């Protein structure tokens, strides 16, 4: 018996040793990553790959106009970023044009997304190599550098962004980390060139470049030269595309740019923007400091702070958080050895808060819609009838803000706890590196998304015959004020209506009115009414109403009526609708007038 127990212990240690990653880790971890690689992606990468074809089939200088004409169908700009990512994707897709697989910019296969994901995954690995080079500037120790690099490669936020949400933010993350490497080597001109390329993807690297430059270079002439180098690519882009109305509309007037102004201190009619307050303070401090002995660890803290603080004051998208992961991982391994496991544990809690927030904020987007069942030839009912966010709606409409607050606290915790270790501790500890916590963080981090997704998929599949719905949302009929009535007719498929989901919008504000939802017979006899405070309703999201056991007659027509008797303009919600008929057995009615379209709804029945 004792020998058997010893054998079991030896076997466990062999499979998952604490001093290194094993073959079992590579096999199991590789299987999980391959599953995520093929099973998930969000459609933005498809759209970006498709629009990049206009570099292969049209004039490069007319790229944005062609995107609007073809992908935007002449109605809206289809390309919202500077040209760097489109040029890279076009070059990567060029072999398929030579082979005749891609014949025009009018069509793009979903399967080509995997080719794009292969490119971003290779850049992900290249970023890991650069990360290792950064660690060796702090301490030339191969094993410690490997340990640190694995901490970044297995970061839950990074894995989600790269392999599940699957966008292309890794390009500017790679360049930002490479620029940081050259700053540590005290090569400001090379760093400026690299950062100048990074901002041609997205603008977050700017917030890192300025404080690092001012911290590591004090000579005015060199600062001016570095600034000019940094501006060259963006100036060239402006010169090449400023003639394009689609470029101006899609890139320079892109709505996401306005998010930097979303958080401010109001001083009467004026505002002070938090993000710019911190930017100028950080720039001033970084230039003021003259440090020689511990400059690398202080630079790492500037890297951490300048990576994180923009996301404290803007409404961010999930994939953008990949940007903060190199600084988080680097500063974790630069902390005292006995604190590293605690920071890795914090990362798991941060991942829970992150996933809860994004699935609540982006329903039908960061959701089961990312699961590519059709491409994998898995016979599932699509569209899906359940949202992952429903598992996290613990406190109704307040849930999303609670989880955002928790995630905000997780980020600030890193800034507070790492300040002392990086600014005042000059040592780098190289004692035994335990992979046990790294391993746990990797597997659990992936499962934090996979398990809720699997539960929701099972629920959606099992209940697929119990729903009628229209999930299309393309227009609204204005505010639901006191004199207005929104109605949707439907035919009952069961004898009990169990649940009503309506896709509502708050116009990105807090509304202090009361919403009435009524269930009516075809001749407008009220069967049930429920009321809800508008302040509890989340913007652009599904609002769920549970119904008691109300007996309906299967096959009969009924009405949902949405009103708000005390709402006025500026203090009212609305109900999304499709632009055309989707649901065959009913129609929308707006202020008593039937419409040839439907409101956005999901109805769940029982006793089918």
The domain made up of 466-606 has a fold known as: Jelly Rolls (2.60.120)
- Model confidence at 7: pLDDT above 70: no
Query: Which whole-number Å values give the CA distances from 141 to 147, 326, 363, 429, 433, in the listed order?
Result: 10, 19, 45, 11, 12
For 440, the 3-state DSSP assignment is helix
Look over the chain and give the mean of its residue pLDDT values, rounded to a whole number: 92
Contact criterion met (CB below 8 Å) for 168 and 41: no
Tens digit of pLDDT for each residue in 84-120? 999 999 999 999 999 999 999 999 999 999 999 999 9
CA distance 217 to 203: 22
Contact criterion met (CB below 8 Å) for 482 and 548: no
- Please state the rounded mean pLDDT for residues 151-170: 97
Contact criterion met (CB below 8 Å) for 607 and 510: no
Out of 376-385, 550-559, 599-608, pick the least confident.
Answer: 376-385
Ranges of each domain in the chain: 33-458, 466-606
- Model confidence at 14: pLDDT above 80: no
Nearest to 106 by CA among 68, 61, 71, 65: 71
**Can you tell me which residue has the tokens 């300048």?**
306
Report the percentage of the chain scoring pLDDT > 90: 82
Token output for 560 = 């949902």
Contact criterion met (CB below 8 Å) for 81 and 199: no
Query: Which whole-number Å values give the CA distances from 472 to 201, 463, 476, 575, 601, in the listed order?
Result: 31, 20, 12, 12, 9
- 520 has which bridge partners? 526, 559
How sure is the predictor about 48, in pLDDT bands with cuts at 50, 70 and 90? very high
Tens digit of pLDDT for each residue in 129-159? 999 999 999 999 999 999 999 999 999 999 9
- Model confidence at 322: pLDDT above 60: yes
Contact criterion met (CB below 8 Å) for 343 and 450: no
pLDDT at 396: 80
Contact criterion met (CB below 8 Å) for 53 and 105: yes
CA distance 181 to 17: 31
pLDDT at 19: 83
- Alpha carbon 289 to its chain centroid, in Å, reads 35
How sure is the predictor about 20, in pLDDT bands with cuts at 50, 70 and 90? confident
Q: With left for phi above 0 and alpha for psi between -120 and 50, is residue 166 left, alpha or beta?
A: left
Element holding 505 (H helix, E strand):
strand 496-505
pLDDT at 13: 58
- 272 has which bridge partners? 265
Tens digit of pLDDT for each residue in 236-295? 999 999 999 999 999 998 877 778 888 888 888 899 999 999 999 999 999 999 887 889
CA distance 225 to 221: 6
pTM for the structure as a whole: 0.91
- Please state the rounded mean pLDDT for residues 44-66: 96
How sure is the predictor about 385, in pLDDT bands with cuts at 50, 70 and 90? confident
Tens digit of pLDDT for each residue in 195-247? 999 999 999 999 999 999 999 999 999 999 999 999 999 999 999 999 999 99
Nearest to 393 by CA among 188, 221, 545, 571: 545
């Amino acid at each position: 018996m004792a020998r058997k127990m010893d054998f079991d212990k030896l076997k466990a240690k062999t499979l998952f040793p604490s001093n290194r990653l094993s073959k079992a880790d590579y096999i199991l971890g590789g299987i999980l990553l391959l599953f995520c690689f093929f099973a998930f992606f969000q459609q933005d990468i498809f759209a970006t790959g498709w629009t990049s074809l206009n570099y292969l089939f049209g004039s490069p200088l007319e790229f944005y106009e062609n995107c609007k004409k073809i992908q935007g169908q002449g109605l809206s700009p289809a390309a919202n970023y500077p040209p760097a990512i489109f040029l890279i994707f076009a070059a990567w897709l060029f072999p398929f044009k030579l082979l005749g697989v891609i014949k025009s910019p009018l069509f793009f296969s979903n399967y080509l997304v995997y080719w794009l994901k292969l490119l971003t995954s290779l850049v992900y690995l290249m970023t890991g190599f650069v990360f290792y080079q950064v660690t060796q500037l702090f301490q030339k120790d191969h094993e410690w550098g490997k340990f640190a690099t694995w901490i970044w490669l297995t970061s839950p936020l990074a894995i989600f962004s790269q392999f599940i949400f699957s966008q292309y933010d890794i390009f500017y993350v790679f360049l930002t980390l490479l620029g940081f490497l050259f700053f540590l080597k005290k090569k400001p001109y090379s760093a400026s060139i690299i950062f100048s390329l990074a901002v041609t993807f997205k603008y977050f690297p700017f917030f890192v470049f300025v404080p690092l430059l001012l911290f590591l270079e004090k000579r005015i002439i060199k600062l001016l030269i570095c600034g000019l180098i940094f501006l060259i690519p963006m100036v060239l882009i402006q010169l090449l595309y400023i003639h394009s109305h689609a470029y101006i509309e899609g890139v320079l007037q892109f709505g996401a740019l306005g998010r930097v102004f979303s958080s401010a201190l109001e001083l009467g009619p004026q505002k002070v923007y938090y993000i710019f307050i911190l930017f100028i303070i950080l720039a001033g401090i970084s230039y003021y400091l003259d440090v020689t002995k511990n400059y690398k660890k202080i630079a790492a803290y500037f890297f951490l702070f300048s990576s994180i603080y923009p996301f404290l004051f803007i409404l961010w998208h999930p994939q953008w958080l990949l940007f903060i992961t190199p600084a988080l991982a680097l500063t974790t391994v630069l902390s005292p050895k006995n604190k590293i496991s605690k920071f890795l544990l914090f990362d798991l809690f941060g991942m829970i808060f992150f996933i809860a927030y994004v699935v609540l904020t982006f329903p039908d987007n960061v959701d089961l819609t990312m699961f590519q069942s059709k491409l994998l030839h898995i016979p599932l009912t699509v569209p899906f009838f359940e949202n992952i966010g429903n598992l996290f709606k613990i406190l109704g409409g307040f849930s999303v803000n609670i989880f955002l607050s928790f995630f905000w606290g997780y980020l600030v915790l890193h800034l507070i706890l790492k300040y002392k270790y990086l600014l005042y501790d000059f040592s780098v500890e190289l004692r035994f590196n335990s992979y046990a916590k790294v391993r746990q963080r990797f597997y659990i981090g992936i499962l934090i998304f996979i398990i809720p997704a699997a539960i929701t998929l099972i629920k959606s599949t099992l209940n697929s015959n119990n729903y009628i719905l229209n999930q299309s949302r393309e227009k609204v009929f204005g505010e639901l004020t006191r004199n207005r009535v929104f109605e949707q007719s439907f035919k009952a498929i069961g004898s009990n209506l169990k649940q009503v989901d309506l896709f509502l919008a708050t116009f990105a504000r807090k509304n202090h009115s009361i919403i009435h939802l009524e269930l009516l017979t075809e001749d407008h006899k009220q069967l049930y009414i429920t009321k809800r405070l508008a302040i509890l309703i989340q913007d652009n999201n599904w609002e769920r109403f549970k119904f008691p056991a109300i007996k309906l007659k299967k096959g009969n027509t009924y009405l949902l009526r949405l009103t708000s008797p005390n709402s006025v303009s500026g203090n009212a919600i609305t109900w999304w609708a499709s632009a055309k008929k989707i649901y065959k057995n009913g129609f929308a009615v707006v202020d008593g007038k039937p419409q040839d379209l439907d409101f956005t709804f999901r109805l769940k029945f029982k006793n089918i």
